[in-house]
Amino acid sequence: MIAVRAEQLRKIFGKFIALDGLDLNVAEGTIFGFLGPNGAGKTTTIRILTGLAHATHGKAWVLGEEVGRNQPEIAHQVGFLPEEPAFYNWMTPREFLDHTGRIFGLPAALRAERTKELLELAGLEESAKRRIGGFSRGMRQRLALAQALINRPKLLLLDEPASALDPEGRKEVLDFIDHLRGQCTVFMSTHILADVERVCDTVGIINRGRLVTEAPRDALLKQYAIPAVEVQVDENKLSELASWSESIKTQPWVASVSIRGPVARVIVEDIATAKSELLKSFPLAGLIPTRYEVVKPSLEDVFLKLVGQEEAAK
């Protein structure tokens, strides 16, 4: 079963093309990471899928129904979390979830049951009688996720659910999303690669309104496996590390070098040559690595490679 399908979706705002022939197929029951830089067309896609915006051209289907037809029936099977959810700050979480249940027409007994379940799932049962206005950003986001689930949706659409949170808040929200695995289809847009790598089992990469690739996460990592070596040095050797990286970039077996603090990540074309030549290069640069490791490719490596190839092709 396909939970979300799009064929040649285009959305034009004046002279700006937000979506440029987007094709999508999201399998039912997956946690789908819709990954792309800011302005790539992620929010526009979600707004079209929810019926909040209309495509300039093309069609989309949600749970087998064409978007724009039988919209009330679709709405009752879909949960939606916008990038900036709104609340009645004077309400308590219990009141807010009950209010959301009323909007969906749930009977009183079912509203009470779902409210209790979701407060527990969101870890908010001890704060059920507090005013929402006093909640932290992470607590508010977990409450927003809970309200998006009040109707037991078959499809949950999340627009950048963890982008503005601190590390603790992000972990709480991602744990919440991971807990939904197998309960419904989750379509999660984000520009944070680590979040997708952590919870999503299928990934779609979008850039400039076009789908770059769509595949299971593990298959994507395997297909675009990029040999890489990480080197870490002492904090007082950062200038030597910078000089070393500039010299090593010129080698034909090196694809790229990136530095984050005392760690250099070297993407290589020939791992055998790299293992030999890198070790020789350290003493010449006055470096004694505290860590030297051949590492697995990350989703970030794949993303940068694919988006870079697309940009180069244009």
Same domain for 169 and 106: yes
Most distant CA atoms of the chain, gap in Å? 75
Is 304 part of a structural domain of the chain? no
User: Has residue 312 got a pLDDT over 60?
Assistant: no
- Residue 279, exposed/middle/buried by CB under 10 A (0-12, 13-18, 19+)? exposed
Residues 156 and 11 reside in one and the same domain:
yes
For residue range 190-209, what is the model confidence (pLDDT) as tens digits? 988 888 989 999 999 999 99
Query: In the chain, pLDDT over 90 holds for what percent of residues?
Result: 66
Local structure of 271: helix, strand or coil: helix
The answer for residues whose C-beta is within 8 angstroms of residue 84's C-beta and 6 or more apart is none
- 27 shares its domain with 85: yes
Q: Of 204, 221, 238, which marks where a domain is finished?
A: 221
- The answer to whether residues 57 and 121 belong to one domain is yes
Q: Please tell me the total count of domains within the chain.
A: 2
- How far, in whole angstroms, is CA 278 from its chain's centroid? 34
Q: Which helix (H) or strand (E) holds 16?
A: strand 16-27
Closest C-alpha to 225, from 204, 255, 246, 248: 255
Same domain, 256 and 198: no
Residue 238 and residue 236: Cα distance in Å, rounded?
A: 6
pLDDT at 314: 62
Within a domain: residue 16? yes
Give residue-wise pLDDT tens across range 79-106: 999 988 999 999 999 999 999 999 999 9
301 in a domain, yes or no? Answer: no
The domain boundary residue, chosen from 167, 202, 221: 221
Q: Report the CATH number at residue 25.
A: 3.40.50.300
Q: Are residues 252 and 289 in the same domain?
A: yes
Residue 283, CA distances (Å) to 252, 270, 276, 277 in order: 20, 21, 13, 11
Same structural domain, 100 and 211 = yes
CATH of the domain at 283: 3.30.70.100
Same domain, 33 and 104: yes
Residues 200 and 287 occupy one common structural domain:
no
Contacts with 181 (C-beta within 8 Å, 6 or more apart), sequence order: 31, 201
The CA distance from 286 to 184, in Å, is 55
Q: Are 122 and 176 in contact (CB under 8 A)?
A: yes
124 belongs to a structural domain: yes
Q: How confident is the model over 163-168, as a mean pLDDT?
A: 82
Is 194 found in the same domain as 54? Answer: yes
The angle formed by the CA atoms of residues 300, 304 and 307, to the nearest 5 degrees, is 135
302 or 87, higher pLDDT: 87
DSSP 215: E
pLDDT at 294: 86
Q: Which of 29-43, 171-185, 294-308 has the lowest mean pLDDT?
A: 294-308
Is 79 within the bounds of a domain?
A: yes
Quickly list H helices, 180-224.
193-199, 217-223
Quick one: pLDDT at residue 30?
Answer: 95
Give me the phi and psi of 126, to 5 degrees please. -75, -15
What mean pLDDT, rounded, does the chain reach?
A: 90
Establish if 98 belongs to a structural domain. yes
The parent domain of residue 8 ranges over: 2-221
Helix or strand (DSSP H, E) at 257: strand 254-260
Higher-confidence residue of 310 and 50: namely: 50
Mean pLDDT within 292-300: 82
Is the residue at 110 inside a domain? yes
Q: What is the pLDDT of residues 234-275, one digit of tens each?
A: 999 999 999 999 999 999 999 889 899 999 999 888 888 888
